[in-house]
Amino acid sequence: MIYCQNCGNQCADHTRFCPVCGAPLQTSTFQQPNGVYYYQQPVQEDKPETALCVLSFFFWIVGVVLYAVNVSTKPIAARAYLKWGLISVAVNVGLSLLVMLIPLLLTVSSA
């Protein structure tokens, strides 16, 4: 139900003019031709935030969580966070392999 801002009369949702005083009624919803109410959502920019990308890089789990949270609303940004999380995993695995290989390489070269 909506109320007329002019006379305070209670009017049905679909009425555009007050039946008592004839004033146009202001509604927060738009009625589509098919009768379905359409709430206009604020347009969110689908762009990854640099700070969150950096965070995803340092904590890969953050990237995974951000991906799960944003994938339905901001798929482009979500994929960017996941990408940085995966790069982080790759770098970490690469570094730990390197650390494990260094002693091996040193023993091979000294032998």
Interacting residues with Zn ion (CB under 5 A): 4, 6-7, 9, 18, 20-21, 23
Q: Minimum Å distance from CB 31 to Zn ion?
A: 19
d(CA 6, CA 22): 9
How many CB atoms are closer than 10 A to CB 70?
Answer: 21
Query: CB of residue 54 vs Zn ion: minimum separation in angstroms?
Result: 56
CB of 23 to Zn ion, least distance (A): 5
Helix, strand, coil shares, percent, the chain, to 5:
50, 10, 40
Burial of 60 per CB tally in 10 Å (0-12, 13-18, 19+): buried
Q: Which is nearer to Zn ion, 10 or 96 (CB)?
A: 10
